[in-house]
Amino acid sequence: MPLWQLPVTQRETITCTDDLGNSKTHGPEQRYVSPTTGVCRKLVVQAVNRSAPSEVAIRNHTNQVSKLAVWLVATPIRGWVIFKWVGVWLWFTLKLSWSFIWSIISLLVQLFSTIDLPDDSGDDKELYKTGYYKPYVRDFQGQLWAARSPKEYSSRVIEEGEMDIPTHTLYPRLLIIRDPSRNQWVPCTDRETIIRTKFIAISYRAVDAFTRGPNMEKEKAQFKDEVRAAVLEQKFNAYWLDLECVGETPLEKNLDLYCMTDVYRGAQLTLIMLGKAAAGESECWRGWGERVWTLPEALLSPRLCYKFRDRDEVTPLSLFELANLAYTNYDIEQAVINAYSGKDPLERLERLTLLKSAIWRRGTAALPVNSAPPPPLKLDMIGENPVTNGAYSAERVYALMGFFEHRIHPNRSEDDLRALVRLSMANDNDRIIERMVSMLPSTITETACWYADDDIHRANLWDILPEIQVAGVTKSGALVLDGCKAAAIRWKDFPDIAYETPDSLRRTLVGFFAYLAWPCLIVGSAIWTTSRKGGIALIVIGTVFLCLSPRLFLFSQSGRIVAAQPWFIGVKGVIDIAEVERHLYGGTVAAHFPRMSYTPSGSEFSIPEQSTVRGGRDIQYGSAILKNSGPHAGHMFTLIDTYSSTMYYFRAERPPTVCIFTGREGGLGRFVLCSERCSINELHKESVLRMPTEISQKMELCGWIALG
């Protein structure tokens, strides 16, 4: 085959845009925004064990003099190594003397002139001494699908009548009322009549009332007759049944769905119409209890009773009896029932959280229940086309919103996630979504990564105090956050860290002796002819200092770290604490002062000390090594925080390049680690760590960011 006929494989490309609107095309590899230039760059990751082209060996920019001194002290002098050792030793002494001379020159120049000399502090000229972590410099540039503030533009279509609906309607739009003069049941929409009419609300399961097919209308009519007979038996002349009372037009349906919970609040009695007892009473109750609307219908009703379709009697029912009969997850439902019955009141947020968990398990017309309880919310469904069978995709949220002070207008084009964001924004005191951002769920999905039903750190939603605010949600379901403090994570290497140690006269003198080696030799050689004894003494002293200079220098660098320039540094894999200290601060020969420590409770892999002093156990490293296998293999990372001198082991799908402070919990801050997706201008949650809250004061505020 001629060369010109060979198929051409095109490399996949991605186009991203910076804050100035400039486009850039690159490959699909992971990228990050440079905190110094704001340019999108390819991410280079230092790794314990390299397994990808973008990974490099662990490297550092520790002062070269320190590196040479460590090598000289640690290398035994044997055989031919002595020649290399001598060469390195001579180079070390020259570098040491030159750094001393250069420091003197720089000091003199600063005293007597304004000349700026070039920095000769080592290989890495990027010493960052602002006292703050390197910032995240990319802001969200898109439009909101739904915004918290009415002043912001939202691309969401505002449906007819949405802005006219009050917070609470207090009465149904339509009732079925019996006309005694004609002995007929007629629909009534007159407001004054409805307000003065006592009625029964009917709760049922559609499959118990009719089946779809040629006989559906006949079965519906039969079910209505049974309902009317039961209503009359209870001495009522009006009822509300969604088969007859939910409107036909989209505006009427949205309004009826909006005020559904008010119907059950305003009813004198709620009648639960069950299937036929001959098919099994337990099955009838379980089937009814699995539906999403039955929980708010029961909890918001002042009184309850029930009736099987093949029995005549109507039996009163308490909430406690209902929990035993109808609910499979008895622990959660019992807590909610105790709260609504007044027996064991829960805090508002805890009650709403339990309600959400209970409702999320139930089936809807869009997500029916089969033999097993319905699965949790499908996070990867966001952005799909809405259901077309007349049901609402966000029906669970609409069932939940009746328990909130403020509600949202139903919309068929939105799913559970976007509806939940709108509901949370409408009820800002609860801040449910802001709290979810700070949680680390057992599974983080590709879309809507902010959503969480659980937390690996075993915190409850109400335990978290958020420090951010949701400004809105995008069409793709990403949260747009305001008030975030963010910092960049460095992955390519260990930078040269600016740090301070306590003042020590002994270390200062010892370090000064190391710098005097060559001056003593030079001066001794110069005065050899005039003062033989003095010259010999200086030459001997200089020679001794030269031989001991590596140890003298390292001793002068020892001592605990009092303050260090804040950096977040990442390593792929599990690295031990001694190696981290060498990469950050070189080595010492004096008594060991701990310069880094393991976190006692900051990550899911933390192991705390059980002694009288709080800290992380050293066996944390070995445990993390073992966990870096099986499902965690290749996804274990180490984060080093130089400000608090703490190390964290965590799991993530991709190396996170941004750290965001989002809230507080249990005496520590919640910090969300995110990777960047430049093509859609969004961040993706990779993990959540519990770090000291005070480090957030060294992080700079950033503009709006999208977390999707």
Rg (CA), the chain: 35
- Please give the pLDDT value at position 84: 73
**Which tens digit of pLDDT belongs to each residue from 369-414?**
443 433 444 443 333 333 334 577 888 898 888 888 888 888 888 8
Q: What does the block give as tokens for 292? A: 């999403």
**Which tens digit of pLDDT belongs to each residue from 645-657?**
999 999 999 999 9
Q: Give the whole-angstrom CA distance, residue 237 versus residue 101.
A: 102
- Please give the pLDDT value at position 532: 74
Q: Say yes or no to pLDDT of 13 above 90.
A: no
- Please give the pLDDT value at position 3: 44
Count the helix, strand and coil residues of the chain and give each as a percent rounded to the nearest 5.
35, 20, 45
Q: Say yes or no to pLDDT of 200 above 60.
A: yes
- Please give the pLDDT value at position 117: 43
Bigger pLDDT: 698 vs 110 = 698
Q: Give the whole-angstrom CA distance, residue 255 versus residue 132.
A: 52
- Please give the pLDDT value at position 253: 85
Q: Sheet holding 184-188: strands in order across? A: 184-188, 175-179, 238-240, 200-204, 269-274, 304-308, 315-317
The closest alpha carbon to 420, from 369, 467, 357, belongs to 357
Mean pLDDT of 254-274: 89
**Which tens digit of pLDDT belongs to each residue from 414-447?**
888 899 999 999 887 789 999 999 999 999 988 8
- Please give the pLDDT value at position 485: 96
Q: What does the block give as tokens for 568? A: 């977040």
Bigger pLDDT: 591 vs 135 = 135
**Which tens digit of pLDDT belongs to each residue from 493-505?**
999 888 777 767 7
Bigger pLDDT: 77 vs 322 = 322
Q: Give the whole-angstrom CA distance, residue 393 versus residue 293.
A: 14
Q: Which amino acid is at 432?
A: I
Quote the distance between the C-alpha of residue 306 and its chain's center.
44
Write the DSSP assignment of 79-108 as a string of letters. TTHHHHHHHHHHHHHHHHHHHHHHHHHHHH
Residue 637 confidence class, pLDDT cut points 50, 70, 90: very high
Mean pLDDT of 511-533: 73
Q: Say yes or no to pLDDT of 166 above 90.
A: no
Q: Give the whole-angstrom CA distance, residue 675 versus residue 228.
A: 59
3-class SS of residue 291: strand
**Which tens digit of pLDDT belongs to each residue from 277-286?**
888 898 899 8
326-335, 441-450, 623-632: which is most confident: 441-450
**Which tens digit of pLDDT belongs to each residue from 347-369?**
777 778 888 887 887 655 444 54
**Which tens digit of pLDDT belongs to each residue from 209-223?**
888 888 889 999 999
Q: Say yes or no to pLDDT of 8 above 50.
A: no
List residues bridging with 202 in a β-sheet.
Answer: 271
Boundaries of every domain in the chain: 44-63+557-654, 64-120+502-556, 159-328, 329-358
Q: Give the whole-angstrom CA distance, residue 566 versus residue 643.
A: 5
Residue whose structure tokens are 């990319």: 138
Q: Return the minimum-mean-pLDDT range out of 110-119, 263-272, 593-602.
A: 110-119
Q: Which amino acid is at 74?
A: A
- Please give the pLDDT value at position 593: 62
Mean pLDDT of 453-482: 93
Mean pLDDT of 27-45: 89
Q: Give the whole-angstrom CA distance, residue 607 versus residue 490.
A: 25
Q: Give the whole-angstrom CA distance, residue 288 versus residue 62.
A: 68
User: For the chain, what percent of residues have pLDDT higher than 90?
Assistant: 35
Q: Return the minimum-mean-pLDDT range out of 138-142, 317-321, 384-388, 397-401.
A: 384-388
Q: Are 524 and 535 in contact (CB under 8 A)?
A: yes
Q: Say yes or no to pLDDT of 118 above 50.
A: no
Mean pLDDT of the chain: 82
Q: Say yes or no to pLDDT of 658 above 60.
A: yes
- Please give the pLDDT value at position 99: 66
- Please give the pLDDT value at position 679: 85
Q: Give the whole-angstrom CA distance, residue 83 versus residue 78.
A: 10
